[in-house]
Structure 1
Amino acid sequence: MNIALWITAGLLAIASLGGGAMLLTQPKEKLAGSGWAWVEDFGAGAVKAIGALKVLAAVGLILPAVLDIAPVLVPLAAVGWLLLMVGAAITHLRRREASAIVVNVVLFAMAAFVVLGRFGFPPFAG
């Protein structure tokens, strides 16, 4: 179970870091033209804030456990990811982008697995 939780948290961290870095480094206009149409509904500052939250989630999903410093932060970061996915799904629903919600649901399920696995079982046990 621990290996599955590590793999899931790692995959979430990769997705989170990639998406967050893209939101932080690219101008809003470029993002809107390259498949991130939802950014049109938000100001540039909000897009950067979402990017920063995603980068922080990536860090929180991995570093506390790797460094063995406050490993409870891992499931808390996954809870933050759950909230991000709920917000993303709501945004896609409002924009009538039902196909994009599938990705949100998959990422939500992965984060829920990390939350339940890390809060529900002895943390980081073999």
Structure 2
Amino acid sequence: MGLNSHNNRVDHYSTSVHANEQQNLTTVPVSVTVSGETMAVHNVCLPPEKTTWQKLQHRLSEVFFPDDPLHGFKNQSRVKKLILALQFFFPIFEWAPNYSFTLFRSDVVSGLTIASLAIPQV
């Protein structure tokens, strides 16, 4: 009924690295041997080598700016950059034009609920 796990197991895989002079990319041809039978070979491009400074810079940018908040500023006019900066530092400029009375009423109800829970009971 079940499959023999030994037959489906990857016994061996081999890689060899060579430089592609035309595109200046390093590729790794990977061949996989399953139960003594060699499978197809696929060329996989390796990422370019980075210096220690580039690695540190990338890691710090991922820590402090994980979703790249300044990406929207690229290729924008000065006026649009000013508007985006105001929206970034003061979010009310982003959501206020779409704020409605229904949202205000929901905010009042949720504020009263939280306030009632925050009042210490004697």
Establish whether TM, by shorter chain, passes 0.5. Answer: no
Which fold has the larger relative contact order, with Cα–Cα distance below 8 Å and residues 6 or more apart in sequence? 1
Larger Rg: 1 or 2?
A: 2
The structure with the largest helix share of the pair is 1
The structure with the largest strand share of the pair is 2
TM-score, normalised to structure 2, is 0.25
TM-score, normalised to structure 1, is 0.24
